[in-house]
Amino acid sequence: MTEFGGFAPTLTDAEAGPTSGGSSTIQGVGGRVDTNLVIIGSGPAGLTAAIYAARANLEPVVLAGSAPGGQLMLTSDVENYPGFVEGIQGPDLMAAMRAQAERFGTRLVDTDIDRVDFSERPFRIWSRGTEYRAQSVIIATGASALWLGLDSETRLRGRGVSACATCDGFFFKDQVLAVIGGGDTAFEEATFLTRFATKVHLLHRRDTFRASKIMVDRATANDKIEIHPNTAVDEILGESKVEGLLLSDTKTGEKRQLDVGGAFIAIGYRPNTEAFRDWLDVDEKGYLVVHDETGSKIDGVFIAGDVHDHRYRQAVTAAADGCKAAIDAERWLEAQGITEAATATAW
Ligand SMILES: Cc1cc2nc3c(=O)[nH]c(=O)nc-3n(C[C@H](O)[C@H](O)[C@H](O)COP(=O)(O)OP(=O)(O)OC[C@H]3O[C@@H](n4cnc5c(N)ncnc54)[C@H](O)[C@@H]3O)c2cc1C
């Protein structure tokens, strides 16, 4: 089983700027990099966008973030990404996507962006002292699953601890599972997991739920789901895989152990949109709002993947979004006369 990591950076911050220039689209000037397209984020959305944009000769620069590879770096087996009959380890899939993007000339910098200025073109993006100026931008910064923050949870991620029932439920046939959370996602995941599990314990710190009544009613009516209000998870038990949970009653403090084979953390996601909120529309949960497939309210700024999509949240849908955003960016650059029509390749 591949461990988290093994994802070597291509270009460090120090190497990123100034660059030596020498290509038609990327020139380093002082602490500055000029390019036709900056892609922010290197999960499935960002790297797929890079593959498409690089093959269209846009020579994209990917600001890959401090978590290069994105969310799939946090998981082991991925069995639902098409093309891998036996499945593939998340980090291996992301390393392959990155190598594929690099093969066509993508330059990657493993750095988080600090801020952006989208008031005029070229758009300006700052990261650790380097300024990137781009004629177009694809934002693919994803969303981060929220975790309980326990050491045992981190240690057992991908070994029975998950944040995605759609992705990992299948691995837990005929097991007793726990879902932690009290919102719609937790109830939805608990209900979904009853397709595989013999029993699902839904654990929530409070005695009221944020979930809608219909979701609570559905779960309550499901014989396989047992709801435990006022219940906190203090520890996830097991050496190499999840074997149980150490729980405490949030009212009485009473401790108890619950034997489970898997723990699904469903306490929410945080969309990585802080840097863009002054410039682009966000919805009530903080996700970016897309206009016309991958567009934003600013011409030339495109959006792909989980940073806007809290409905599907899958690698394949994020990758598809990255493809669409790259094609839209390429066509937009061509329509502006920034790139020549000849630049466009047959996709
Ligand atoms: C535990 C787990 C298991 C999963 N298993 C599966 C599965 O089996 N199959 C499946 O299809 N899906 C699975 N998913 C869901 C899947 O991982 C996501 O849907 C997918 O990764 C979304 O891709 P993305 O490119 O939109 O964003 P992400 O993968 O979230 O990538 C976002 C990228 O943006 C970068 N970034 C963030 N902020 C900044 C910033 N300020 N500056 C620069 N970069 C930034 C990050 O470093 C990262 O590289 C799983 C998710 C989790 C959490």
Domains and CATH numbers, the chain: 13-144+269-343 (3.50.50.60), 147-265 (3.50.50.60)
Closest atom of ligand 1 to CA, residue 67: 47
DSSP 11: S
Q: Which of 2, 164, 317 to mutate to test the pocket of ligand 1 (most atoms within 8 A of CB)?
A: 164
Alpha carbons 151 and 156: distance in angstroms, whole number: 9
The pLDDT of residue 213: 92
Q: Which of 48, 71, 311 to mutate to test the pocket of ligand 1 (most atoms within 8 A of CB)?
A: 71
Pocket of ligand 1, beta carbon within 6 A = 40-46, 63-68, 70-72, 74-75, 78, 80-81, 112-113, 140-143, 145, 162-164, 167, 272, 275, 305-307, 313-316, 318
Active site residues per annotation: 164, 167-168
The pLDDT of residue 347: 56
**Is residue 231 helix, strand or coil?**
strand
Mean pLDDT, each 10-residue run in order, the chain (347 residues): 36 40 39 96 98 96 96 90 96 97 96 96 95 97 96 95 93 97 94 96 95 92 97 97 98 98 96 97 97 97 97 96 98 92 52
Closest atom of ligand 1 to CA, residue 312: 19
The pLDDT of residue 340: 77
The pLDDT of residue 341: 62
**What's the half-sphere exposure (Cβ side, CA atoms, 13 Å) at 205?**
10
Contact 190, 200 (CB under 8 A): yes
The pLDDT of residue 16: 45
Q: Which residue has the tokens 């620069």?
A: 61
Cα R_g (the chain), whole angstroms: 22
Phi first, then psi: give them for residue 186, nearest 5 degrees.
Answer: -60, -45
The pLDDT of residue 345: 53
